Chain A
């Protein structure tokens, strides 16, 4: 990082203008996988924020002692350790959510956002900015997860966090939940809509 970046922009840029999902298009796989319902989406988001923030701090502390040749392995070991801790915590305190997320908590290890932030930021910054960067990027990811989960659960199951939203008379009048919303393709289309809306607002994000 040659230029001096303000701590504020480190924390807030990933929420919109440099969002890891809709601008950098990373971590798409888990957006498809865990957003059919809102609750697992939130749990997943919180898990990623935790893992990413602490992995960033640890790598940032170790950054001057990690040999360049094996840095990816070191990063993986750190992330894997944190993921196992989060996984065990979820199993202990949020068993149902953990059941729903199944392998996807474990697959945080392979989430491109983590490796990207560790390589691009934590390896060359002090622990405090690295922590803020981790939280910011984790939250940027979580926001997209929550929006997609919200839309998919609302129109796919007619519920939010498990509570029925549409009154019974609507179903009596012929309303039917949209089964396609539960299927993964719709997650891609919802993400595409978010990208569309964002680029309509910020014209300079559009690629040629």
Chain B
């Protein structure tokens, strides 16, 4: 530790104003504050109110909360590949290793592109590097199909970081959730690579591990929501990759085709517990998203019609399938883009949950509505906060006017 500190002290002058490597100042700064507590956080005397939780620690906690979903995503990627290839034995370690190898290049690409842009912008604006991309970089691969080409991920990440974050002023100033903007960009730009029955199951062996999937054998990698959206008449029957019936338990555990990290509602619940215990996510938002989804799901289910097959899903199923649970816990609770007032959080969450089910059910063109619902909620969040604050002001003015009148008497 001491040697590292000495080494950093020795090379530090090169990165300061006028030094040889001045251009890489923010890179050095970022590495130094990552390794050691910064020496200039606050003066040691005087009144200082500072929480132990800074944004770096928040980000790390969110990443930790995402780990169950990530690891299960790896397992499920392997599991779906083995299943689609007709395997009968599922060796846990190999499944995990296959999923790990499948997701590793994706995480590497999003981090390289996203952090690269952050470094350049920090340098350009002469600011420190912000840590905001830490979570975004891991979220993007988790909410995309496992077969998304790497260059598409790179383009979408660059688009989202530049146009959803940097032009608004960087971390903490973005209006929309950056990871969801990346996903929306992919969804509208390359619809063929983001939906359908061939993209959600890894179909090629990686480094000699895994199997080659032959889609001609009556194998369909469509997600449950994808199957519902293309459903035409007859009884609704959700199937696994090889055509077996799917139970609600499969969906809860997450052994279904879907985007990489969002299939398992169980793992999302574990992540939610971590976020709530550490106080990072707002329980109001999570509860109200779930409430909005359940209520709207119940209404849709009550008036079920074969025109909109997703209305056959029970309210609970709405939460089990697709990315709604993941969006409720990890997307809607993003403190930057959600509503900030407590009353606003209830309204915001309810709109997100309700819209997700409405889009999913009443627009067969969009099998999954959670992404669009959260983005819509993001756009409305400032308005919701404004209304809440104005209502408070008016109520207090009325109260003040009343007590003044009382004083006159």
List the one stretch of A15-23, A34-42, A146-154, A175-183 in contact with chain B. Answer: A175-183
Contact A180 B149 (CB under 8 A): no
Interface residues of A in 173-208 (CB under 8 A from B): 174, 176, 178-181, 183, 189, 196
| Cβ of B7 under 8 Å from chain A | no
Bound together, the chains give a CA A179 to CA B190 distance in angstroms of 6
**What's the tally of chain B residues with a CB closer than 8 Å to chain A?**
13
Chain A residue at smallest Cβ distance from B150? A174
Given A176-B193, A189-B163, answer yes or no on A183-B152 (Cβ-Cβ < 8 Å): no
Question: For the complex, is B93 an interface residue (Cβ under 8 Å from A)?
Answer: no
Are A183 and B149 closer than 8 Å at their CB atoms?
no
Residue among A178, A183, A189, A196 making CB contact with B190, cutoff 8 Å: A178
Does B189 belong to the interface (CB within 8 Å)?
yes
B192 x A176 contact (CB < 8 A) = yes
> How many chain A residues touch B (Cβ–Cβ < 8 Å)?
9
CA distance A174 to B192 in the complex (A): 12
Measured in the bound complex, the distance between the Cα atoms of B152 and A179 in whole Å is 12
Establish whether residues B189 and A179, one from each chain, have CB atoms under 8 Å apart when the complex forms: yes
Q: Which residues between 322 and 347 of chain B lie within 8 Å of chain A, taking CB atoms? A: none
Closest A residue by C-beta to B188: A180
Q: How far is the CB of B263 from chain A (nearest CB, A)?
A: 25
The answer to whether A174 touches B188 (Cβ under 8 A) is no
Chain B residues in 8 Å Cβ range of A196: 167
> In this assembly, does B185 line the interface, its C-beta being within 8 Å of a C-beta of chain A?
yes
Which residues does chain A contribute within 8 Å of B168, judged by CB atoms?
none
A180 touches B151 (CB 8 A): no
| B190 cross-chain contacts in A, Cβ below 8 A | 176, 178-179
Nearest B residue to A183 by beta-carbon distance? B188
Known contacts: A174-B151, A189-B163. The answer to whether A180 contacts B185 by CB under 8 A is yes
Residues from chain B with a CB closer than 8 A to the CB of A189 are 163
When distances are taken between beta carbons in the complex, the residues of chain B under 8 Å from A183 are 188
Give A104 to B365 CA distance when docked, in angstroms.
Answer: 28
Question: CB-nearest residue of chain B relative to A175?
Answer: B151
Q: Is the CB of B189 within 8 A of A180?
A: yes
In Å, the complex CA distance between A176 and B193 comes to: 9
A183 to B185, CA, bound (A): 11
**B153-193 interface bits toward A, Cβ cutoff 8 Å, 1 = contact, 0 = none:** 00100000001000100000000000000000100111111
Binding site for A on B (CB under 8 A): 149, 151-152, 155, 163, 167, 185, 188-193
* A-B contacts besides A174-B149, A178-B190, 9 pairs, CB < 8 Å: A176-B152, A178-B155, A179-B188, A179-B190, A180-B185, A180-B188, A180-B189, A183-B188, A196-B167
